[in-house]
A = this chain, B = another copy of it.
Amino acid sequence: MTEQSTKVHVKPADGRLGVLLPGLGAVSTTFIAGIENFKKGLGQPIGSLAEMGTIRLGKRTDNRVPKIREFVPLAPLNPIVFGAWDIHEENAWQAAKRASVLRDEHLDPIRHELEQVRPMKAVFDKEWVRRLDGPNVKTAESKYALAQMLMDDIQRFREDNRCDRLVSVWCGSTEVHTDITDVHLDPDRFEAGLKSNHPAISPSMIYAYAHIMAGVPYANGAPNLALDTPALAQLATDKRVPIAGKDFKTGQTLMKTILAPGLRARLIGVNGWYSTNILGNRDGEVLDDPGSFKSKEVSKLGVLETILQPELQPELYGKIHHKVRIDYYPPRGDNKEGWDNIDIFGWLGYPMQIKINFLCRDSILAAPVVHDLAMFLDLANRAGFFGIQEWLSFYFKSPQTKPGLYPEHDLFVQKTKFKNTLRYIMGEELITHLGLDYYYADQK
Protein backbone atom coordinates (compact mmCIF):
# COMPACT_ATOMS: atom_id res chain seq x y z
CA MET A 1 0.00 0.00 0.00
CA THR A 2 1.64 3.29 -1.02
CA GLU A 3 0.60 6.84 -0.35
CA GLN A 4 -0.37 7.39 -4.00
CA SER A 5 -3.77 8.81 -4.65
CA THR A 6 -5.48 5.67 -5.79
CA LYS A 7 -8.89 4.99 -4.37
CA VAL A 8 -9.18 2.26 -1.77
CA HIS A 9 -11.99 -0.21 -2.25
CA VAL A 10 -14.60 0.35 0.45
CA LYS A 11 -17.52 -2.02 0.87
CA PRO A 12 -20.89 -0.23 0.95
CA ALA A 13 -22.56 0.58 4.26
CA ASP A 14 -25.67 -1.41 3.52
CA GLY A 15 -27.77 -3.16 6.11
CA ARG A 16 -28.11 -2.75 9.86
CA LEU A 17 -25.27 -1.64 12.12
CA GLY A 18 -25.25 -2.62 15.80
CA VAL A 19 -23.32 -0.47 18.25
CA LEU A 20 -22.26 -2.25 21.43
CA LEU A 21 -21.35 -0.35 24.57
CA PRO A 22 -19.65 -1.92 27.58
CA GLY A 23 -20.87 0.50 30.28
CA LEU A 24 -24.31 2.15 30.25
CA GLY A 25 -23.72 5.32 32.25
CA ALA A 26 -23.71 9.05 31.58
CA VAL A 27 -21.63 8.91 28.39
CA SER A 28 -23.40 5.98 26.76
CA THR A 29 -26.89 7.20 27.50
CA THR A 30 -26.08 10.71 26.30
CA PHE A 31 -24.75 9.19 23.11
CA ILE A 32 -27.74 6.91 22.54
CA ALA A 33 -30.22 9.63 23.45
CA GLY A 34 -28.59 11.97 20.97
CA ILE A 35 -28.76 9.48 18.12
CA GLU A 36 -32.39 8.66 18.87
CA ASN A 37 -33.21 12.36 18.86
CA PHE A 38 -31.42 12.89 15.56
CA LYS A 39 -33.24 9.94 14.00
CA LYS A 40 -36.45 11.87 14.72
CA GLY A 41 -35.01 15.11 13.37
CA LEU A 42 -34.66 16.60 16.84
CA GLY A 43 -31.51 18.38 17.97
CA GLN A 44 -28.12 18.57 16.34
CA PRO A 45 -25.20 16.06 16.52
CA ILE A 46 -22.79 18.83 17.47
CA GLY A 47 -19.22 17.72 17.84
CA SER A 48 -19.55 14.80 15.43
CA LEU A 49 -17.37 14.91 12.33
CA ALA A 50 -19.27 11.97 10.91
CA GLU A 51 -22.50 13.94 10.97
CA MET A 52 -21.52 17.58 10.63
CA GLY A 53 -17.90 17.62 9.49
CA THR A 54 -16.71 18.97 6.16
CA ILE A 55 -13.55 18.28 4.22
CA ARG A 56 -11.70 20.52 1.83
CA LEU A 57 -10.75 18.84 -1.43
CA GLY A 58 -8.40 20.12 -4.11
CA LYS A 59 -7.16 23.66 -4.25
CA ARG A 60 -8.28 26.53 -2.03
CA THR A 61 -9.84 28.18 -5.04
CA ASP A 62 -11.83 25.08 -6.02
CA ASN A 63 -14.48 25.58 -3.35
CA ARG A 64 -14.93 21.86 -2.99
CA VAL A 65 -15.86 21.35 0.65
CA PRO A 66 -18.38 18.50 0.91
CA LYS A 67 -19.73 17.08 4.15
CA ILE A 68 -17.62 14.12 5.23
CA ARG A 69 -20.76 11.97 5.20
CA GLU A 70 -21.30 12.87 1.54
CA PHE A 71 -17.68 12.14 0.71
CA VAL A 72 -17.02 8.79 2.39
CA PRO A 73 -19.61 6.00 2.69
CA LEU A 74 -20.62 6.02 6.37
CA ALA A 75 -23.35 3.92 7.93
CA PRO A 76 -26.67 5.77 7.87
CA LEU A 77 -28.14 6.61 11.29
CA ASN A 78 -31.40 4.98 10.72
CA PRO A 79 -30.81 1.28 10.94
CA ILE A 80 -28.45 1.68 13.92
CA VAL A 81 -29.36 -0.39 17.01
CA PHE A 82 -27.76 -0.29 20.45
CA GLY A 83 -26.65 -2.93 22.93
CA ALA A 84 -24.90 -2.52 26.28
CA TRP A 85 -23.51 -4.24 29.33
CA ASP A 86 -23.68 -2.71 32.81
CA ILE A 87 -23.42 -3.70 36.48
CA HIS A 88 -26.77 -2.01 37.14
CA GLU A 89 -30.03 -3.35 35.77
CA GLU A 90 -31.44 0.04 34.85
CA ASN A 91 -32.42 0.46 31.24
CA ALA A 92 -31.03 3.39 29.24
CA TRP A 93 -33.98 5.60 30.16
CA GLN A 94 -33.48 5.05 33.88
CA ALA A 95 -29.72 5.39 33.59
CA ALA A 96 -30.06 8.65 31.65
CA LYS A 97 -32.44 10.08 34.25
CA ARG A 98 -30.03 9.18 37.04
CA ALA A 99 -27.04 10.64 35.18
CA SER A 100 -29.02 13.91 34.81
CA VAL A 101 -26.95 15.14 31.92
CA LEU A 102 -29.86 15.77 29.57
CA ARG A 103 -32.98 17.75 30.34
CA ASP A 104 -36.40 16.20 29.98
CA GLU A 105 -36.98 17.92 26.66
CA HIS A 106 -34.30 15.65 25.18
CA LEU A 107 -35.41 12.49 26.98
CA ASP A 108 -39.19 12.58 26.86
CA PRO A 109 -39.55 12.24 23.06
CA ILE A 110 -37.39 9.11 22.98
CA ARG A 111 -38.35 7.45 26.23
CA HIS A 112 -39.67 4.38 24.49
CA GLU A 113 -36.49 3.83 22.45
CA LEU A 114 -34.29 4.23 25.53
CA GLU A 115 -36.33 1.81 27.55
CA GLN A 116 -35.60 -0.90 24.96
CA VAL A 117 -31.89 -0.73 25.76
CA ARG A 118 -31.56 -3.12 28.70
CA PRO A 119 -28.06 -3.94 29.82
CA MET A 120 -26.67 -7.45 29.55
CA LYS A 121 -24.93 -8.75 32.66
CA ALA A 122 -21.47 -7.22 33.00
CA VAL A 123 -18.06 -8.75 33.53
CA PHE A 124 -16.95 -6.91 36.65
CA ASP A 125 -14.45 -7.18 39.48
CA LYS A 126 -14.46 -4.76 42.40
CA GLU A 127 -10.71 -5.20 42.73
CA TRP A 128 -10.36 -3.19 39.53
CA VAL A 129 -12.94 -0.43 40.24
CA ARG A 130 -13.07 -0.06 43.99
CA ARG A 131 -15.70 2.64 44.33
CA LEU A 132 -18.43 0.90 42.35
CA ASP A 133 -20.53 -2.19 42.78
CA GLY A 134 -23.72 -3.55 41.27
CA PRO A 135 -25.92 -6.62 40.97
CA ASN A 136 -26.00 -7.19 37.21
CA VAL A 137 -22.81 -9.21 37.01
CA LYS A 138 -21.80 -12.47 35.37
CA THR A 139 -20.21 -15.24 37.38
CA ALA A 140 -18.12 -18.07 36.00
CA GLU A 141 -15.30 -20.41 36.86
CA SER A 142 -12.69 -18.61 34.82
CA LYS A 143 -11.97 -15.41 32.96
CA TYR A 144 -11.94 -17.52 29.83
CA ALA A 145 -15.48 -18.63 30.54
CA LEU A 146 -16.48 -14.99 31.08
CA ALA A 147 -15.01 -14.14 27.68
CA GLN A 148 -17.03 -16.94 26.09
CA MET A 149 -20.17 -15.58 27.73
CA LEU A 150 -19.47 -12.16 26.23
CA MET A 151 -18.99 -13.73 22.82
CA ASP A 152 -22.31 -15.47 23.27
CA ASP A 153 -23.90 -12.14 24.18
CA ILE A 154 -22.46 -10.60 21.02
CA GLN A 155 -23.72 -13.43 18.85
CA ARG A 156 -27.17 -13.34 20.42
CA PHE A 157 -27.37 -9.56 20.00
CA ARG A 158 -26.37 -9.87 16.35
CA GLU A 159 -29.08 -12.39 15.69
CA ASP A 160 -31.83 -10.86 17.77
CA ASN A 161 -31.35 -7.51 16.09
CA ARG A 162 -30.58 -8.88 12.62
CA CYS A 163 -27.36 -6.86 12.43
CA ASP A 164 -25.19 -6.98 9.33
CA ARG A 165 -22.23 -5.41 11.06
CA LEU A 166 -21.21 -4.65 14.66
CA VAL A 167 -18.86 -2.17 16.24
CA SER A 168 -18.12 -1.61 19.95
CA VAL A 169 -16.90 1.31 22.09
CA TRP A 170 -15.88 0.87 25.73
CA CYS A 171 -17.71 3.46 27.87
CA GLY A 172 -17.14 1.90 31.30
CA SER A 173 -15.22 3.17 34.28
CA THR A 174 -11.51 3.68 34.79
CA GLU A 175 -9.83 0.65 36.25
CA VAL A 176 -6.93 0.55 38.67
CA HIS A 177 -3.58 1.20 37.05
CA THR A 178 -1.53 -1.80 36.04
CA ASP A 179 1.68 -2.32 34.12
CA ILE A 180 2.31 -4.73 31.27
CA THR A 181 3.38 -8.12 32.58
CA ASP A 182 4.25 -11.42 30.91
CA VAL A 183 0.66 -12.47 30.52
CA HIS A 184 0.05 -9.45 28.26
CA LEU A 185 2.88 -10.16 25.85
CA ASP A 186 1.30 -12.38 23.23
CA PRO A 187 -2.06 -13.92 22.36
CA ASP A 188 -1.11 -17.37 23.55
CA ARG A 189 0.04 -16.37 26.99
CA PHE A 190 -3.00 -14.11 27.29
CA GLU A 191 -5.35 -16.95 26.48
CA ALA A 192 -3.57 -19.19 28.98
CA GLY A 193 -3.92 -16.42 31.54
CA LEU A 194 -7.65 -16.19 30.90
CA LYS A 195 -7.93 -19.89 31.58
CA SER A 196 -5.80 -19.77 34.74
CA ASN A 197 -7.59 -16.63 36.06
CA HIS A 198 -4.40 -14.61 35.96
CA PRO A 199 -4.86 -11.64 38.35
CA ALA A 200 -3.31 -9.14 35.91
CA ILE A 201 -6.15 -9.63 33.43
CA SER A 202 -8.81 -7.01 34.07
CA PRO A 203 -12.45 -7.02 33.01
CA SER A 204 -11.80 -4.45 30.30
CA MET A 205 -9.19 -6.77 28.77
CA ILE A 206 -11.74 -9.56 28.71
CA TYR A 207 -14.19 -7.36 26.81
CA ALA A 208 -11.49 -6.39 24.32
CA TYR A 209 -10.50 -10.01 23.79
CA ALA A 210 -14.07 -11.16 23.32
CA HIS A 211 -14.83 -8.48 20.73
CA ILE A 212 -11.69 -9.10 18.72
CA MET A 213 -12.34 -12.80 18.74
CA ALA A 214 -15.88 -12.10 17.57
CA GLY A 215 -14.48 -9.92 14.76
CA VAL A 216 -16.06 -6.75 16.10
CA PRO A 217 -14.09 -3.47 15.61
CA TYR A 218 -13.42 -2.10 19.06
CA ALA A 219 -12.42 1.23 20.64
CA ASN A 220 -11.31 1.88 24.21
CA GLY A 221 -12.64 5.10 25.76
CA ALA A 222 -10.97 4.69 29.16
CA PRO A 223 -7.30 4.80 30.19
CA ASN A 224 -7.41 1.12 31.08
CA LEU A 225 -4.62 -1.06 29.73
CA ALA A 226 -6.34 -3.37 27.26
CA LEU A 227 -6.01 -2.96 23.48
CA ASP A 228 -2.54 -1.57 24.04
CA THR A 229 -1.14 -4.81 25.39
CA PRO A 230 1.04 -6.54 22.79
CA ALA A 231 -1.21 -9.56 23.15
CA LEU A 232 -4.41 -7.85 22.09
CA ALA A 233 -2.78 -5.60 19.48
CA GLN A 234 -1.31 -8.69 17.86
CA LEU A 235 -4.61 -10.54 18.11
CA ALA A 236 -6.37 -7.69 16.31
CA THR A 237 -3.87 -7.86 13.48
CA ASP A 238 -4.13 -11.61 13.31
CA LYS A 239 -7.92 -11.49 13.21
CA ARG A 240 -7.85 -8.46 10.84
CA VAL A 241 -10.04 -6.44 13.20
CA PRO A 242 -9.56 -2.64 13.41
CA ILE A 243 -9.00 -1.29 16.92
CA ALA A 244 -8.42 2.18 18.39
CA GLY A 245 -7.57 3.63 21.77
CA LYS A 246 -7.32 4.93 24.34
CA ASP A 247 -9.14 7.33 26.66
CA PHE A 248 -11.55 9.74 25.02
CA LYS A 249 -9.98 13.15 24.57
CA THR A 250 -12.43 15.63 26.09
CA GLY A 251 -12.24 18.50 28.55
CA GLN A 252 -8.92 19.54 29.96
CA THR A 253 -6.74 17.21 27.93
CA LEU A 254 -8.45 18.31 24.76
CA MET A 255 -7.57 21.88 25.70
CA LYS A 256 -4.01 20.81 26.41
CA THR A 257 -3.58 19.23 23.01
CA ILE A 258 -4.93 22.39 21.45
CA LEU A 259 -2.86 24.84 23.43
CA ALA A 260 0.45 23.02 23.77
CA PRO A 261 0.93 22.66 20.01
CA GLY A 262 0.26 26.38 19.72
CA LEU A 263 2.95 27.22 22.25
CA ARG A 264 5.27 24.71 20.60
CA ALA A 265 4.61 26.14 17.16
CA ARG A 266 5.79 29.55 18.29
CA LEU A 267 8.60 28.17 20.48
CA ILE A 268 7.24 29.72 23.63
CA GLY A 269 8.96 28.05 26.60
CA VAL A 270 7.02 26.27 29.34
CA ASN A 271 8.26 25.68 32.87
CA GLY A 272 5.09 24.76 34.70
CA TRP A 273 1.64 23.43 33.94
CA TYR A 274 -0.71 22.96 36.85
CA SER A 275 -4.07 21.40 36.10
CA THR A 276 -6.85 20.82 38.54
CA ASN A 277 -10.23 19.29 37.78
CA ILE A 278 -13.36 19.21 39.84
CA LEU A 279 -16.11 16.86 38.91
CA GLY A 280 -19.05 15.39 40.67
CA ASN A 281 -20.38 12.46 38.69
CA ARG A 282 -19.77 8.71 38.97
CA ASP A 283 -16.53 9.23 37.10
CA GLY A 284 -15.39 11.63 39.83
CA GLU A 285 -16.29 9.10 42.46
CA VAL A 286 -14.32 6.34 40.73
CA LEU A 287 -11.29 8.60 40.30
CA ASP A 288 -11.38 9.43 44.00
CA ASP A 289 -9.78 6.01 44.40
CA PRO A 290 -5.99 6.39 44.08
CA GLY A 291 -5.66 3.25 41.93
CA SER A 292 -8.09 4.47 39.30
CA PHE A 293 -6.67 7.98 39.52
CA LYS A 294 -3.25 6.57 38.72
CA SER A 295 -4.51 5.20 35.39
CA LYS A 296 -6.03 8.52 34.49
CA GLU A 297 -3.01 10.48 35.64
CA VAL A 298 -0.61 8.47 33.52
CA SER A 299 -2.86 8.99 30.53
CA LYS A 300 -3.09 12.73 31.15
CA LEU A 301 0.56 13.35 31.94
CA GLY A 302 1.94 11.79 28.78
CA VAL A 303 0.34 14.38 26.57
CA LEU A 304 2.64 17.33 27.15
CA GLU A 305 5.88 15.49 26.78
CA THR A 306 5.06 14.12 23.36
CA ILE A 307 3.80 17.43 22.06
CA LEU A 308 6.55 19.62 23.45
CA GLN A 309 9.45 17.27 22.64
CA PRO A 310 11.78 18.24 25.48
CA GLU A 311 14.51 16.07 24.00
CA LEU A 312 14.61 18.32 20.93
CA GLN A 313 14.35 21.61 22.84
CA PRO A 314 15.63 21.17 26.35
CA GLU A 315 16.06 24.94 26.77
CA LEU A 316 12.33 25.39 26.21
CA TYR A 317 10.69 22.26 27.54
CA GLY A 318 13.33 20.42 29.50
CA LYS A 319 12.17 21.35 32.98
CA ILE A 320 8.38 21.44 33.10
CA HIS A 321 6.72 21.01 36.46
CA HIS A 322 3.56 19.26 35.27
CA LYS A 323 0.96 18.46 37.89
CA VAL A 324 -2.54 17.04 37.38
CA ARG A 325 -5.17 16.97 40.10
CA ILE A 326 -8.66 15.50 39.94
CA ASP A 327 -10.95 16.20 42.86
CA TYR A 328 -14.35 14.74 43.50
CA TYR A 329 -16.61 17.73 44.06
CA PRO A 330 -20.30 16.81 44.17
CA PRO A 331 -21.73 20.33 43.64
CA ARG A 332 -20.52 20.18 40.02
CA GLY A 333 -22.62 17.13 39.05
CA ASP A 334 -21.85 15.93 35.52
CA ASN A 335 -20.42 19.36 34.74
CA LYS A 336 -16.68 19.04 34.98
CA GLU A 337 -14.57 22.10 35.59
CA GLY A 338 -10.89 22.49 34.91
CA TRP A 339 -8.49 25.19 35.95
CA ASP A 340 -5.07 25.32 34.36
CA ASN A 341 -2.20 27.58 35.21
CA ILE A 342 0.57 27.58 32.65
CA ASP A 343 3.90 29.26 33.27
CA ILE A 344 5.54 30.22 30.03
CA PHE A 345 8.53 32.29 28.98
CA GLY A 346 9.66 34.16 25.89
CA TRP A 347 12.47 36.25 24.42
CA LEU A 348 15.42 36.36 26.82
CA GLY A 349 13.50 34.18 29.27
CA TYR A 350 10.87 36.70 30.44
CA PRO A 351 7.97 34.92 32.19
CA MET A 352 4.28 35.09 31.32
CA GLN A 353 1.24 33.18 32.52
CA ILE A 354 -1.89 31.69 31.03
CA LYS A 355 -4.88 30.61 33.12
CA ILE A 356 -7.71 28.60 31.65
CA ASN A 357 -10.98 27.89 33.34
CA PHE A 358 -13.05 25.39 31.40
CA LEU A 359 -16.64 24.87 32.53
CA CYS A 360 -17.35 21.79 30.52
CA ARG A 361 -19.75 18.89 30.38
CA ASP A 362 -18.09 15.56 30.23
CA SER A 363 -20.74 13.46 28.56
CA ILE A 364 -21.68 16.19 26.12
CA LEU A 365 -18.11 16.25 24.85
CA ALA A 366 -17.71 12.47 24.91
CA ALA A 367 -20.93 11.47 23.16
CA PRO A 368 -19.92 12.64 19.67
CA VAL A 369 -16.56 10.93 20.13
CA VAL A 370 -18.33 7.64 20.78
CA HIS A 371 -20.41 8.12 17.68
CA ASP A 372 -17.50 9.07 15.44
CA LEU A 373 -15.45 6.12 16.62
CA ALA A 374 -18.32 3.81 15.84
CA MET A 375 -18.77 5.34 12.38
CA PHE A 376 -15.10 5.46 11.41
CA LEU A 377 -14.19 2.04 12.80
CA ASP A 378 -17.02 0.63 10.74
CA LEU A 379 -15.63 2.53 7.73
CA ALA A 380 -12.13 1.24 8.42
CA ASN A 381 -13.46 -2.29 8.58
CA ARG A 382 -15.23 -1.95 5.25
CA ALA A 383 -12.09 -0.37 3.77
CA GLY A 384 -10.08 -3.45 4.74
CA PHE A 385 -8.05 -1.66 7.41
CA PHE A 386 -7.21 -3.65 10.52
CA GLY A 387 -5.08 -3.56 13.67
CA ILE A 388 -4.23 -0.20 15.20
CA GLN A 389 -6.05 2.70 13.53
CA GLU A 390 -3.61 5.48 14.27
CA TRP A 391 -5.53 7.93 12.07
CA LEU A 392 -8.18 7.99 14.85
CA SER A 393 -5.61 9.45 17.32
CA PHE A 394 -7.65 12.64 17.01
CA TYR A 395 -10.15 11.21 19.52
CA PHE A 396 -7.82 9.91 22.23
CA LYS A 397 -5.79 11.15 25.16
CA SER A 398 -3.28 8.30 24.71
CA PRO A 399 -3.27 7.40 21.03
CA GLN A 400 -2.18 3.88 20.33
CA THR A 401 0.60 3.42 17.80
CA LYS A 402 2.70 0.63 16.46
CA PRO A 403 5.64 -0.15 18.73
CA GLY A 404 8.60 2.05 17.78
CA LEU A 405 6.42 4.88 16.51
CA TYR A 406 5.90 7.84 18.81
CA PRO A 407 2.25 8.91 19.18
CA GLU A 408 1.11 12.22 17.74
CA HIS A 409 -0.67 14.20 20.48
CA ASP A 410 -0.90 17.49 18.62
CA LEU A 411 -4.60 17.83 17.78
CA PHE A 412 -3.75 19.55 14.50
CA VAL A 413 -1.34 16.89 13.32
CA GLN A 414 -4.02 14.39 14.32
CA LYS A 415 -6.61 16.28 12.31
CA THR A 416 -4.37 16.42 9.25
CA LYS A 417 -3.69 12.71 9.57
CA PHE A 418 -7.40 11.98 9.94
CA LYS A 419 -8.49 14.07 6.99
CA ASN A 420 -5.66 13.04 4.70
CA THR A 421 -6.58 9.44 5.47
CA LEU A 422 -10.13 10.10 4.31
CA ARG A 423 -8.75 11.80 1.18
CA TYR A 424 -6.48 8.84 0.61
CA ILE A 425 -9.32 6.37 0.96
CA MET A 426 -11.31 8.22 -1.66
CA GLY A 427 -8.36 8.79 -4.00
CA GLU A 428 -8.19 12.56 -3.52
CA GLU A 429 -4.95 14.53 -3.46
CA LEU A 430 -3.44 14.96 0.01
CA ILE A 431 -3.25 18.52 1.30
CA THR A 432 0.11 20.07 2.20
CA HIS A 433 -0.85 23.77 2.45
CA LEU A 434 2.16 24.68 0.32
CA GLY A 435 0.19 26.73 -2.16
CA LEU A 436 3.06 28.42 -3.97
CA ASP A 437 1.35 27.82 -7.31
CA TYR A 438 -1.31 30.38 -6.48
CA TYR A 439 1.41 32.99 -6.65
CA TYR A 440 3.92 31.89 -9.19
CA ALA A 441 2.03 29.66 -11.65
CA ASP A 442 1.32 32.46 -14.06
CA GLN A 443 4.77 33.97 -13.83
CA LYS A 444 6.58 31.15 -15.53
Q: Which residues of A contact B (CB under 8 A)?
A: 1-3, 30, 33-34, 37, 43-49, 52-54, 60-61, 65, 101-102, 106, 254-255, 257-259, 261-263, 265-269, 271-272, 274, 276, 278, 312-313, 315-316, 321, 323, 325, 327, 329-332, 337, 339, 341, 343, 345-350, 352-361, 363-365, 367-368, 387-388, 390-391, 394, 402, 404-406, 408, 410-413, 415-417, 420-421, 424, 430-441, 443-444
Contacts and interface: CB of A to CB of B under 8 A. Distances in A.
B265 A412 contact: yes
A272 B355 contact: no
A267 B316 CA distance: 31
Given A1-B441, A37-B348, A46-B346, A390 B435 contact: yes
A72 to B, nearest CB: 15
A397 B45 CA distance: 32
Given A331-B343, A402-B438, 15 more contacts: A3-B436, A46-B269, A46-B349, A54-B313, A60-B406, A267-B368, A346-B367, A347-B368, A350-B361, A354-B358, A355-B357, A390-B438, A391-B435, A421-B434, A432-B432
Integer count of this chain's copies in the complex = 4
Contacts of A387: 439
B331 A271 contact: yes
Contact of A433 (B49, B266, B417, B436): B417
B65 A312 contact: yes
A391 B276 CA distance: 38
A323 B332 contact: no
A138 B49 CA distance: 56
A346 B366 CA distance: 10
A434 B267 CA distance: 25
A294 B435 CA distance: 31
A329 B269 CA distance: 17
Contacts of A420: 432-434
Contacts of A408: 433
A258 to B, nearest CB: 3
Nearest to A269: B46
A339 B193 CA distance: 47
Given A315-B52, A415-B265, A331 B272 contact: yes
A405 B60 CA distance: 7
* 9 A-B pairs with the lowest CB-CB distances in the bound complex, closest first: A258-B262, A272-B331, A412-B412, A417-B433, A1-B440, A430-B432, A346-B364, A355-B357, A43-B348
Q: Which of A267, A313, A440 has the most CB of B within 10 A?
A: A267
28 contacts: A1-B440, A3-B437, A34-B348, A43-B348, A46-B267, A46-B347, A46-B348, A46-B349, A102-B348, A254-B262, A255-B354, A259-B262, A272-B331, A272-B332, A274-B329, A276-B339, A337-B341, A347-B364, A348-B364, A350-B361, A354-B358, A410-B412, A412-B413, A416-B432, A417-B433, A417-B434, A424-B436, A432-B432
A216 B53 CA distance: 44
Contacts of A339: 276, 339, 341, 355
A87 B34 CA distance: 42
Contacts of A390: 435, 438-439
Given A352-B360, A412-B412, A421 B436 contact: yes
A435 B417 contact: yes
Given A323-B327, A327-B325, A439-B388, A347 B434 contact: no
A345 B61 contact: no
Contact of A276 (B61, B276, B394, B417): B276
